Amino acid sequence: MLSGEHDAVYVGNLISAWADRYLDTGGPIRSAAEPIKPTDAGTVVVTDNGYGSLQQDIAVGRRRLTADEPVSAGGLDGGPDPYGYLLAALGACTAMTLRLYANRKSLPLGRVSVALKHGKIHAADCEACETKEGMIDRIERVIALEGDLDAGTRTKLLEIADRCPVHRTLTSEVDIRTELTDKSARTRNSDP
């Protein structure tokens, strides 16, 4: 099962990330700012983990994830890239929103599956877009619904899919505020 190089690297990174939570080995980080500690349950913390030049550890509450870029982009392919996580967030939110709606309305909805793809297109190729010059982001989302659902119910579920909170965030105005912390730099693997 681990005969493929990419699979072996992926599994090795997962085991390493898991073990690092329990062993204070200092990890492979070369030099980094003091890790930011979450201030509340809703805080996500992303930290360079020192594997390759792009790989990141992601702390979401008590869960740990890894982000990376494919080898072709200079990464180790040790996890989804940032757009992969963005698409995963939209897909998960879409499926959850449909499930909650179907449960509340007692609809015979079986399995929900959402396939997503991100790309860039020329703004001029988007008839419904305000922007008419340059490139814009396009997310293609295909939803598969299982169950004995009539055409009217399927249409309503398609409308509900666009009401998921992540979809609303991505299609609304977003205010991102950034600040630099005063934490001093440190080296985890340096001599005292």
Please calculate the CA angle 36-90-61 and round it to the nearest 5 degrees. Answer: 30
Considering the four listed CATH numbers 3.30.300.20, 3.40.50.300, 1.20.210.10, 3.55.50.30, the one that applies to the domain covering 83-170 is 3.30.300.20
Q: Which helix (H) or strand (E) element contains residue 82?
A: helix 82-105
Average pLDDT over every residue of 89-93: 98
CB 106 within 8 A of CB 96: no
Average pLDDT over every residue of 64-85: 94
Q: What pLDDT is stored for residue 171 in this prediction?
A: 93
Confidence class for position 25, pLDDT limits 50, 70, 90: very low
pLDDT (tens digit, 9 = 90+) per residue, 33-55?
556 666 677 889 999 988 889 99
Confidence class for position 129, pLDDT limits 50, 70, 90: confident
**CATH 3.30.300.20 intervals, the chain:** 83-170
Q: What pLDDT is stored for residue 189 in this prediction?
A: 43
CB 156 within 8 A of CB 145: no
